[in-house]
């Protein structure tokens, strides 16, 4: 079973991405919450994630960090992660890879055709 390490869901939208994906697709996982905080927490992040950041997904011996890398890893194992139709899949990936803080409204690069 997957193990997902995340930080506070209300402060870490990057942690929220794989959490929502796993929940919505009903993919079984164990959630480990490591709240943001002092240096002790940073050491806790470093023990599970090579980057020292969350989110981090552990699948046996495989460790995947970064929310989009986690989505791609899950897509290789679960068909429902990305839409099957190429145009819809391209739109979904464009929206998923959109940098934090960028508003998609009016952006022609992610508008479905």
CB distance 57 to 64 below 8 Å: yes
Q: Which residues contact 88 (CB under 8 A, 6 or more apart)?
A: 112
Range of lowest pLDDT (4-8, 43-47, 57-61, 104-108): 104-108
Q: Is the pLDDT of residue 104 over 50?
A: no
Cα 10 from chain centre: 15
Residues making up the chain, counted from first to last: 113
CB 15, CB 67: distance < 8 Å: yes
**Spatial contact of 104 and 93, defined as CB atoms under 8 Å apart:** no
| Greatest mean pLDDT among 30-34, 51-55, 73-77, 89-93 | 73-77
């Amino acid at each position: 079973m997957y193990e997902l390490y995340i930080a506070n869901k209300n402060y870490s939208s990057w942690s929220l991405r794989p959490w929502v994906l796993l929940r919505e697709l009903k993919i079984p996982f164990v959630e480990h919450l490591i709240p943001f905080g002092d240096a002790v927490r940073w050491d806790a992040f470093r023990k599970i994630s090579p980057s020292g950041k969350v989110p981090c997904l552990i699948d046996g011996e495989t460790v995947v960090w970064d929310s989009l890398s986690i989505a791609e890893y899950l897509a290789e194992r679960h068909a429902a992660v990305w839409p099957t139709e190429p145009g819809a899949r391209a739109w979904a990936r464009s929206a998923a890879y959109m940098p934090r803080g960028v508003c998609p409204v009016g952006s022609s690069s992610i508008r479905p055709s």
